[in-house]
Structure 1
């Protein structure tokens, strides 16, 4: 099965074409990535540093957007641009937009602004509506006359720069430094717990660790109560009927086998509203173990996602860049379910 193009990449390309339809000349920034921004735009005599963020959740998450704005400013002031633009796929309430633009001297463009700009070409509007999976009623409400965001723009200012959050990078290094195997099992659990609390500070509650089953013989690592704060956690509650999520930490030297999957599955209880497990392991799972997770989903509706070191560090870097790490879990679940065999 061919790997699909990531949604964030499709959104970024669409934003580029929407900007070009509104008199911007746009090029992809060659210095993009962790130390740059996505696009360079020219509008008249002004050059813009443009950062594009795709979020599956419509509601704005202020801490993530602030992190993205800070990175844009810090990177933008190092190149010869006059202004900065942060484009997000969520909806920014007017009061939050005002605070962000005042604090960081960047122009914020949300999905409502994009709808107005996309009206310059009907095919752009249709593509935008499909990509952000907009609710039809929401489209009717937000298609109102709006001020062009460029009218609020102001020069980028070095006074808005500040040290960026590097906790994700530090935690990734700490994770990779842990020796694999039984001797470092406790340290691996502690670091994984720190990582999860950094990634999902408002999404997960309870954090019941090393809880024993009723027979007093077996244990698991963490059970958390889920709050429907983002699209992924809402999906867990509403579509998988799981109010709680189980986290297990497997510090094995190699890939985990069928036995570890079978043990985890026993802890997932339909009547206990616990039907989702996220297994953190160093090197992923063997093919037979993956087949067992597919069988558990197909036959019992139990979802088990396997997250290795590489994927965990990817989520840590997403958080640093102002992206939602829960979107990575959504993509994992989405790809797993789309490729689920009969």
Structure 2
């Protein structure tokens, strides 16, 4: 096991080996990501489009699963593949699974199914439990999935082809079309707000605009109440004691500097349960600003995170493809805290 690889990649590799243990012939698909799928599988002379999704959260948002399922169907049909499969690290409730199977003509394999499929190989089972950090008392469904996979008779073209959501792509294009500088701050603020509401519709509540001043120019910051629906938001509430979060939008033509970080830090209030800020920037933060963010965390326990256009567009693409955009935020926070100097 290569612990230097990201968790999603290790999960993808493990899912491949579990499927191979169950008589699948697996190879990497030549077209992956937005226009393809992860693996091209073959079982009993039938071809399979197989997509693997790792989520930090055990019960991820249904809309992400649906986006991923849609792409398996559409991209599988484009590649003239007969059947489709979506493998996920999350748990699908019986009700949600039934709704999915009525809408999509593919096989859904969640973490319980994976444990059943891995049960013939103790080393694979142990590796899966360790990777997903499963509790020893985790109760699994005893129904075998292997027979279902072999006898599954649904073909990709049996149901109407679903439509792929392109909202994220459109928002990214709108974001990058806005010119940098104070003259265009209102347009930048508006698109950033639209992006946040698209990315996190169930995670952020009570949107509130707070007018403030930065260098003589008026701007609006958003203050939101956090709903801890995924591991990232739970981390903010439980570990940082931040029930609220500030978003700031800085349409600067250069990287933000330490002065902007100092201004943001003043808005963070320990007794107000407001200890986290995420700053949208066009080009990120310079080294002095990063040092100021590190000091705010080290000395006062205040987390300030800066994300640029590319990172925002990465999150938009993730949501389109059925990945959880908060996983990228979690990685950024992970990297920030792991590299925090004394």
Matches of 1:122 and 1:264, distance apart in 2: 51
Q: Is the 8 A contact 1:107 1:153 kept in 2?
A: no
Q: Any gaps of 5 or more consecutive residues in structure 2?
A: none
Q: Aligned with 1:324: secondary structure?
A: coil
Misfit runs of 4+, over 4 Å = 217-220
Residue 134 in 1 paired to residue 125 in 2? no
Residues 77 and 158 of structure 1 are in contact (CA less than 8 Å); yes or no, is this contact kept in structure 2? Answer: no
SS of the residue corresponding to residue 327 of structure 2 reads helix
Per the alignment, do residues 153 and 297 of structure 1 end up closer, same or farther by CA in structure 2, a change over 3 Å counting?
farther
Q: Does 1:189 align with 2:164?
A: no
| Post-superposition offset of 1:128 | 1.2
1:11 match: 11
| 1:182-261 to 2 correspondences below 5 Å | 182-211=182-211, 221-261=221-261
Secondary structure at the aligned position of 2:35 is classed as coil
> SS at 2:264's partner residue?
helix
Matches within 5 A, 1:106-121: 106-121=106-121
- Checking the alignment, whether the CA contact within 8 Å between 1:172 and 1:316 is kept in structure 2 is yes
Alignment partner of 1:275: what SS? strand
Residue in 2 that maps onto 1:88? 88
Task: Work out whether residues 106 and 153 of structure 1, in 8 Å CA contact, stay in contact via their aligned partners in 2.
Answer: no
2: CA distance, partners of 1:163 / 1:230: 26
> d(CA) in 2 for partners of 1:152 and 1:85?
11
User: 1:292 offset after TM fit, Å?
Assistant: 1.1
Give the whole-Å Cα distance in 1 for the aligned partners of 2:262 and 2:211: 18
What are the residue-to-residue correspondences of 1:28-39 with 2, within 5 Å?
Answer: 28-39=28-39
* Alpha-carbon displacement from aligned partner over 1:147-174 (angstroms, at most 9, x marks no partner): 4341445111163312211010000000
**d(CA) in 1 for partners of 2:133 and 2:338?**
17
Name the SS of the counterpart of 2:241 in structure 1: coil
Cα separation, partners in 2 of 1:147 and 1:6, compared to 1, 3 Å: closer
**Cα contact 1:83–1:106 (8 A) shared by 2:** yes
Aligned 8 A contact 1:115 1:143 in 2: no
> Size of the alignment, in residue pairs?
335
Q: TM-score, normalised by structure 1?
A: 0.94
Q: Distance in 1 between matches of 2:112 and 2:245?
A: 34
TM-superposed CA distance for 1:250, in Å, is: 0.7
- The answer to whether structure 1 residue 310 and structure 2 residue 328 are counterparts is no
Residue number in structure 1 paired with 2:300: 300
Q: Secondary structure in 2 aligned to 1:137? A: coil
Cα distance in structure 2, aligned partners of 1:272 and 1:302: 12
- 1:132 Cα shift? 1.5
Match of 1:146 among 138, 144, 147: 144
Determine if the alignment matches structure 1 residue 24 to structure 2 residue 24.
Answer: yes
- Cα distance, 1:123 vs. partner? 2.2
**TM-score, normalization by structure 2:** 0.94
Please provide the CA RMSD for this pair. 1.8
Counterpart-to-counterpart distance in 2, 1:245 and 1:40: 42
